Amino acid sequence: MDSILDGDVQTVFENKDLVDSSTIVDQDRIYGRDEQLAAEARAFRDTLDGERPPDLLLYGPSGTGKTLTVKAVANKVKERAQESGIEFDFVAVNFKTMESHTLDRAVWKLGHQTARKAGVVWDVPRSGVSTDMKYTRLYEIVDDHFDSLVFILDEIDALTGSTGADEPAYSRLLYSLSRVMSEQHVDTQLSTVVVTNYPKFRENLDSRTDSSYNPNGIHFSDYDANELIEILERRRDAFKDDALEDGVIEIVAAYGAQNEGDARRAIDLLRDAGEIANRAGDPVVTQDHVRSANDSVVKNRVLEIVGGMSVQKKLSLYAAALVAKENEGAAPSPVVYDIYKILCEGSDMEIYTQETVNSHINKAGTYGVLESERVSGGFKSGVHLVFKFTEPVGAVLDTLSADERLQEIPAKELGEVVKRRLRD
């Protein structure tokens, strides 16, 4: 233990921060996003002219460089602004990671992060103080400490708010932030950058918000395997010379490409492979280390998501996964519901309505296990949902099967039933 605490441990890493996907890197380490970087730079350029940058909406799949690029550009603008005597900064909040997805908690979090950037104490308690008072203190800090400020609102669609509310919490937040200057709460040039995987979140905006919130949209597409190789090559110096076996970057990129071109996960996978090599005392990261890391990541991610679900939610998701397994990852909701009813009958469980089952499955979608879209025609049901898994279906089924209440499910026989229902 003393040798570990003293740092006398062999490591494959030279600069581990470079394979931390949360690290803000220089633009020369970002590949395949020249068009997006240029659009963001043009928008932020207004800050250096003393003008308010336009609001931006960055949209596209997970891990395609949305947050990475905008933070890199904002960091560069901050350096230029300081040279010109302009007090500019950016405050980034990821709403998906908050323990509560209410407007009140979002405003508190924005205030807390803004106070940190301003170097002042955020003296507002989480509870016992109205949301309006939190807004007031937030605006005081903004006005006192910044000439220009950008709020980077990451995964804003997670900010759903209370069930049954007239509009989602993110709609109310965007309305307030889009009106803050016109209503003279601050003299600071205040802008927002919304980052989302689901641009359709705008369909749920209140009409007032939709009228006042008019961002410039910037689209980010999936990376392919070759682009992921280039991205990872730009972080090779995170490792010591000769610490990566030939083919390691290529296999990591291949896994990333299978995962919808997610560069963030690819970078994390490369780091995890290095950590496995360190734990084994190996001086070189091998392809076997990468495979072990990938297996562990998939199982842990799925286990974390589905492990705490109620049995009804697990049955709903299990039915969807069984259908998706036989249908190239896609599960039409009418077929899913048929299989769900068979599962409930075999387990002597109460059968819920199809609407409830769809809701249970969509809940898994909020954690990134799957996505859903509404389609029309087919399956004798008119308009229906189709669930498309973003996590490996096999890993989902294996994780769900670990629950003793689901261990007796005859998955093979049900697979044949699924095939027949899909043909009908």
Q: Which residues are annotated as a binding site?
A: 64-68, 223, 235
Asked if 43 and 90 count as a contact pair (C-beta separation under 8 A), the reply is: no
Quote the tokens at residue 189. 């040039």
Length of the chain: 424
Neighbouring residues of 289: CB distance < 8 A, sequence distance ≥ 6: 248, 273, 274, 276, 277, 280, 282
Say how many Å lie between the first and final Cα of the chain, rounded. 63
Return binding residues for ATP: 64-68, 223, 235
Neighbours of 292 (CB within 10 A): 16
Neighbouring residues of 62: CB distance < 8 A, sequence distance ≥ 6: 197, 260, 262, 264, 265, 368
Alpha helices in 156-310 (DSSP H): 169-179, 207-212, 225-233, 248-258, 263-280, 287-306
Helices (H) and strands (E) in the chain, counts: 16, 8
Q: How far apart are CA 76 and CA 74, in angstroms?
A: 5
Q: How far apart are CA 311 and CA 325, in angstroms?
A: 21
Alpha helices in 366-410 (DSSP H): 393-401
Alpha helices in 326-392 (DSSP H): 333-347, 354-365
Residue 312 burial (CB < 10 Å; 0-12/13-18/19+)?
middle
Bridge partner residues of 193 (DSSP): 56, 152
